[in-house]
Amino acid sequence: MIYFDSGATTLQKPKAVQAAVRTAMRRLASPGRGGYRPAMEAAEAVYDCRLAAAALFDAAPEQVVFTMNATHGLNLAIKTLVRPGDAVVISGFEHNSVTRPLHHLGAAVTVAGERLFDPDDTLAAFDRAVTRDTKAVVCTHVSNVFGYLLPAEKIAALCRERGVPFILDASQSAGVLPVSLRELGAAFVAMPGHKGLYGPQGTGLLLCGRKPRTLLEGGSGSLSKSPEMPDFLPDLAEAGTQNTAGICGLAAGLRFVRERGTDEILRHEQALRRELAGALARLGGVRVFADDRCQTGVLSFLLEGEDCEKTAQRLGERGFCVRAGLHCAPLAHRSAGTLETGTVRVSFSRFNTQKETERLIRYLKK
Amino acid sequence: MPDYAFTFQSITAAQGSRNILDRRGIENWILRSPKSLSDLGCGYLVKVRGQNGPRAAAVLRAWGAPFVRVYALFPDGRIEAAAL
């Protein structure tokens, strides 16, 4: 089996991640809920992960909120800033984790920048769309379908100039690109723990440049007499018992990313994507969505005359794990003109190798 | 001489302050607050030895650490509000 679906979740994890989860399940109780040793050790383990995330993403430890996944974090962020009817600007490459909460809220959404692999056009479109009346801008850092690297830093700067809160969806960039909460001046940055950060599923992070509203209320291990949630981070946004084992695994994943460095990880994944894109383009009869100027390690393609799901099924039967369809991002497909066809997506991680990529190329050549 | 306790509303705030003291070489311990010291229930404290109390207070204030109050913890079990 060769796994090429890291855009959904990374399957190969550093060994330290599994070891950390196992150890946590054996030894750690509920963090922040008791003074006895397994509870205090759990609290230290959770804080250790907070520190690791704060260091990697240039935030204060208190600004790091643990979530279930990026969707959870995006819901917290969006539902903090947006009320029904509010004007919100999003890119043309957003995932349903952004568009569905906005639809649910009844926001007045403007889509800015629908040209694939055209960061100048994307930025110009945000420049036109964002006004002082805009209540929030939500932008993905990297398209989960096409690997398109959007000019998020410049969009964030534009938002700062106009006093508009900015939410970054770092689902495909965390662990692959530098992300700095401080430099972005973002209201929120949401990310999963289980993709480029190599943590277990069920983990995510929300970096908070401001206080979120609560999505859940309940026990926080603090100010227990009060009927209200504490008004300070991170307790405000972390009701209920934490996923301590998952958080310990995530801490190990964060250490792996920090030791390797995002530059090295990005270069590795881009090299594999470049090799595959070039080979597919030379095959003929393949529509390849590639642009080396602004693309990470995610590649979409379509074999002419074959349904994308059929292609993925054939590949799956030969042991290649790729994802076909709309990738929960119909807006991105609409922007790229692939809403009716979908695409086949290959998404690399640091654990993929050139040999694996060559095997996929050899099979597709047949 | 009593030891001193800095109370915090959350474990995360206590841990952040603990790390500040650690970096300054001030020995300390995180403990659950006695019920009598946490007006709204469930807090944590960072305890330091008596001779380190004034320095710890100065360091934490300089860093803007969000401690709520300072208490003197006497060997006979008495706890009194302290002004450091």
Helix intervals (H) in A66-162: 70-81, 96-105, 119-129, 152-162
- Using DSSP's 3-state secondary structure scheme, residue A46 falls into helix
pLDDT at A32 over 90: no
Q: Per the CB < 8 Å rule, is A223 touching B30?
A: no
The parent domain of residue A304 ranges over: 2-10+261-365
User: Contacts of residue A218 in chain B, CB cutoff 8 Å?
Assistant: none
Alpha-carbon gap: B68 to the closest alpha carbon of chain A (Å): 12
Minimal Cα distance from B44: which residue of A? A222
- Please say whether the beta carbons of A355 and A361 come within 8 A: no
User: Contacts of residue B31 in chain A, CB cutoff 8 Å?
Assistant: 35
pLDDT at B20 over 90: yes
Strand partners, B71: B5, B81
User: Contacts of residue B13 in chain A, CB cutoff 8 Å?
Assistant: 62, 232
Between CA B73 and CA B82 the distance in angstroms is 9
Domain end, chosen from A236, A260, A284, is at A260
| Nearest by Cα to B22 from A232, A47, A253 | A47
Angle (nearest 5°) at CA A39 between A227 and A24: 120
pLDDT at B35 over 90: no
* Residues A139 and A231 reside in one and the same domain: yes
* Residues A6 and A104 reside in one and the same domain: no
Chain segment A206-220, per-residue pLDDT in tens? 999 999 999 999 999
- Please say whether the beta carbons of A123 and A155 come within 8 A: yes
Chain segment A33-90, per-residue pLDDT in tens? 889 999 999 999 999 999 999 999 999 999 999 999 999 999 999 999 999 999 999 9
User: Contacts of residue B12 in chain A, CB cutoff 8 Å?
Assistant: 32, 47, 50, 61-62, 234-235
* Residues A101 and A200 reside in one and the same domain: yes
At A290, which CATH number?
3.90.1150.10
| Domains of chain B, earliest start first | 3-81 (3.30.70.1940)
Q: Tell me the torsion sign for CA atoms A28, A34, A36, A41.
A: positive
* Residues A136 and A115 reside in one and the same domain: yes
* Residues A238 and A333 reside in one and the same domain: no
Q: What is the pLDDT of residue A17?
A: 98
Q: Per the CB < 8 Å rule, is A47 touching B31?
A: no
| Nearest by Cα to A273 from A294, A253, A244 | A294
Of B10, B15, B30, the CB nearest to A222: B10
Q: Per the CB < 8 Å rule, is A223 touching B66?
A: no
Residue A63 is inside which H or E element, if any? none
pLDDT at B38 over 90: no
Chain B residues at the A interface, defined by Cβ less than 8 Å, are 9-13, 15-16, 30-32, 39-43, 66
Chain segment B72-81, per-residue pLDDT in tens? 999 999 999 9
Domain end, chosen from A260, A279, A314, is at A260
**A231 in contact with chain B, both atoms CB, cutoff 8 A:** no
pLDDT at B24 over 90: yes
* Residues A327 and A359 reside in one and the same domain: yes
- Between the alpha carbon of residue A44 and those of residues A22, A32, A47, A143, the distances in Å are 16, 9, 5, 35
**A38 in contact with chain B, both atoms CB, cutoff 8 A:** no
Chain segment A127-158, per-residue pLDDT in tens? 999 999 999 999 999 999 999 999 999 999 99
Between CA A125 and CA B47 the distance in angstroms is 55
Domain end, chosen from A203, A238, A260, is at A260
Between CA A274 and CA A188 the distance in angstroms is 32
Alpha-carbon gap: A204 to the closest alpha carbon of chain B (Å): 18
Q: Residue B40 — pLDDT band, cuts 50, 70, 90?
A: confident
Indicate left, alpha or beta for B42 from its phi (over 0: left) and psi (-120 to 50: alpha).
left
* Residues A125 and A153 reside in one and the same domain: yes
At A119, which CATH number?
3.40.640.10
* Number of other residues whose CB lies within 10 A of the CB of residue A328: 16
Minimal Cα distance from B37: which residue of A? A223
Minimal Cα distance from A234: which residue of B? B12
Long-range pairs of A110-117 with CB within 8 A, sequence gap ≥ 24 = A111/A331, A111/A335, A113/A150, A114/A334, A114/A335, A115/A335, A116/A143, A116/A146, A116/A148, A116/A289, A116/A291, A116/A335, A116/A336, A117/A146, A117/A148, A117/A289, A117/A291, A117/A293, A117/A294, A117/A295
Of B9, B15, B31, the CB nearest to A222: B9
* Residues A149 and A256 reside in one and the same domain: yes
* Residues A52 and A121 reside in one and the same domain: yes
* Residues A202 and A307 reside in one and the same domain: no
Between CA A283 and CA A39 the distance in angstroms is 58
| Nearest by Cα to A73 from A182, A186, A184, A150 | A186
What domain count does chain A have?
Answer: 2
Of A35, A50, A226, the CB nearest to B12: A50
* Residues A211 and A351 reside in one and the same domain: no
- Between the alpha carbon of residue A188 and those of residues A75, A210, A237, A357, the distances in Å are 11, 7, 13, 36
Chain segment A101-137, per-residue pLDDT in tens? 999 999 999 999 999 999 999 999 999 999 999 999 9
* Residues A266 and A253 reside in one and the same domain: no
Minimal Cα distance from A48: which residue of B? B15
The ipTM is: 0.89
The DSSP code sequence of A258-293 is HHH-HHHHHHHHHHHHHHHHHHHHHHSSEEEE--TT
Q: Per the CB < 8 Å rule, is B10 touching A61?
A: no
Q: What is the pLDDT of residue A16?
A: 98
